[in-house]
Amino acid sequence: MTIPYNISLTGIGEQLEEHFKKLWKINNSEFIIPAELALNGISFSITSKEFGIFTKLIYDVLTKDIPSLKTLTNYFKNIINLLNTLNLPINWETPAGLNINYQQIKFNSKAIKNNFIQGSKGITISIPTDKIDKLKMLRSFMPNFIQFLDASNVPFLIKYFSETDKIPFYTIHDCFASTPNKIELLESKVKRAFI
């Protein structure tokens, strides 16, 4: 899921580490593969170097071997490169009807020091320019686009509630909560809204 967010090889390794027990051995660490994941049903360990190879395999499968994900990612990159070449912003309308005009601009940093108060530390402020930050546009579009799609789900979810549902629910962006006796109903409504 994090590939469209431009996750790095290191980031994938960190996410994978959360699912394995890590043991430290003299100047090295090993990762325990639980019995339920082993072909022969016997738990074993792999070295940090082997874990790195495993991470690279996962990264390659996600970034190179899944054609639909690669096609979608390349499609958006090509559009952004074209718009960057033309110095145009990216415009789209969210499913909820919000019009987005998206453009990242470059900032210049300026260090400022207060000379009136002795011992005060300087600060750095960022001053916007009129130039487009093309690299930031390329890196940040997909995460922002996905965030807008996620946020668009909430109005659709509310639309699917009827007067008789009486579901207490709470949402922060794309996370939803309710009381235990209503969570299955809420889950079905959230799925319907995403669809």
Would the pLDDT of 49 be above 70? yes
Written as six digits, the tokens of 64 are 């190179």
What is the helix (H) or strand (E) element at residue 133, kind and residue range? none
pTM of the model: 0.61
Q: Output the pLDDT for position 4.
A: 67
Rg of the chain over Cα atoms, rounded to whole angstroms, equals 24
Q: Output the six-digit token pair for 137.
A: 């546009």
Mean model confidence pLDDT for the chain = 84
Structural element, H or E, at residue 141:
helix 134-159
Res. 192 pLDDT band, cuts 50 70 90: confident
Q: How confident is the model at residue 1 (pLDDT cuts 50, 70, 90)?
A: low
Cα separation, 96 vs 157, whole angstroms: 11
Ramachandran angles phi, psi of 167, nearest 5° = -100, 115
What is the residue extent of each domain of the chain?
Answer: 1-65, 160-194
- Number of Cβ within a 10 Å radius of residue 55: 19
Around Cβ 176, how many Cβ atoms within 10 Å? 18
Mean pLDDT of 98-116: 85
DSSP 121: P
In contact, 91 and 101? CB cutoff 8 Å: yes
Query: What DSSP letter does each residue of 76-115 carry, written as one string?
Result: HHHHHHHHHHTT--EEEE-TTS-EEEE--EEEEEEEE--S
Length, in residues, of the chain:
195
